[in-house]
């Protein structure tokens, strides 16, 4: 029973981490694209 609860908790934690990293990656990519386009437009 304890292993099942721990496994489920670990799985939820893993999913949360994956979602967090995906959102973070999307934000960084969006910022990078904006900076690149701004730099490109300023030339």
Q: Considering the domain boundaries, does residue 37 fall inside one?
A: yes
Q: Considering the domain boundaries, does residue 19 fall inside one?
A: yes
Cα distance between residue 7 and residue 21, in whole Å: 21
Q: What is the pLDDT of residue 22?
A: 92
Q: Considering the domain boundaries, does residue 3 fall inside one?
A: no
- Total domains present in the chain: 1
Whole-prediction pTM:
0.53
Q: What is the pLDDT of residue 35?
A: 72
Chain CA centroid to CA 20, Å: 4
Q: Considering the domain boundaries, does residue 27 fall inside one?
A: yes
Report which of 37, 19, 18 is spatially closest to residue 29, judged by C-alpha positions.
37
pLDDT in tens, 14-38: 999 999 999 988 888 887 777 767 6
Residue 43, pLDDT > 70, answer no
Task: Note down the domain range covering 40.
Answer: 13-43
| Token couple for 15 | 């999913």
């Amino acid at each position: 029973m304890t292993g099942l609860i721990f496994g489920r908790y670990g799985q939820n934690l893993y999913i949360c981490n994956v979602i967090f990293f995906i959102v973070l990656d999307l934000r960084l990519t969006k910022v990078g694209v904006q900076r690149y386009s701004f730099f490109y437009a300023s030339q």
